[in-house]
Amino acid sequence: MAANSGSLLVNKLTAIGFLVVGFLILASGYRYGSTSTLLGGCLILIIGVILLILKIARRNNGTP
């Protein structure tokens, strides 16, 4: 159980990191009007959201 808990923490921090970096790239692309940067930031942001959703689903999937 403890090893699983550490893995969930790493997954959570990775997802939050993707969210932050994706948002910063998205904002930069919006500010400078760069479509490719905007799409790249959006893609990274979506990956972060998906990882966070998968982490929550794995945590709630355990049997009592």
Alpha-carbon distance of 54 to 29, in angstroms, equals 27
* pLDDT tens digits for range 2-40: 556 677 788 889 999 999 999 999 999 999 999 999 999
pTM equals: 0.79
Which tokens go with 52?
Answer: 């966070």
For the chain, the maximum distance between any two Cα atoms, rounded to a whole number of angstroms, is 50
Report the 10 Å Cβ neighbour count for 44. 20
Judge whether 44 and 18 are in contact, CB under 8 Å. yes
